[in-house]
């Protein structure tokens, strides 16, 4: 098994801070676009950006926690929290995806009902 290099926490933290900065700007632009367009597609994209920011904060916390030295409670160190962060991000993305799918199907069915009722009225 190859021995890995020690984790450079400082560069990872810097990277995540930049990700947070640009994610926040992108999210604000998407919410502004949704505000003016009222588009469901843009809203779902903006919500995905919100999830991106939440998971980035958790990733940032996990990096700080993972950098702690081993102690009596955690004799193998604290690095495994990064796997928890990955699982958390996956769960949030899955949940957001399910919400977007349900919302899209509801809007589609609502649109179908409107068209049907208009067609029936003729």
Contact 18, 30 (CB under 8 A): no
CB 7 within 8 A of CB 50: no
Stretch that binds Zn ion, among 24-32, 74-82, 83-91, 113-121 (CB under 5 A): 74-82
Least separation, in Å, of the C-beta of 72 and Zn ion? 8
Q: Choose, by CB under 5 A, the member of 71, 76, 120, 122 that binds Zn ion.
A: 71
CB of 2 to Zn ion, least distance (A): 27
What is the phi-psi region of residue 5: left when phi exceeds 0, alpha when psi lies from -120 to 50, beta otherwise? beta
Binding residues (CB under 5 A) for Zn ion: these are: 71, 73-74
């Amino acid at each position: 098994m190859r021995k890995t290099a020690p984790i450079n926490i400082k560069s990872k933290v810097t990277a995540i801070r930049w990700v947070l900065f640009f994610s926040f700007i992108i999210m604000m632009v998407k919410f502004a676009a949704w505000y003016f367009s009222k588009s469901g597609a843009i809203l779902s994209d903006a919500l995905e950006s919100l999830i991106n920011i939440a998971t980035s904060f958790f990733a940032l916390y996990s990096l700080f926690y993972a950098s702690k030295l081993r102690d009596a409670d955690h004799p193998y160190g604290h690095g495994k929290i990064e796997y928890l962060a990955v699982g958390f991000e996956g769960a949030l993305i899955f949940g957001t995806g399910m919400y977007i799918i349900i919302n899209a199907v509801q809007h589609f069915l609502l649109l179908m009902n409107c068209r049907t009722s208009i067609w029936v009225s003729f």
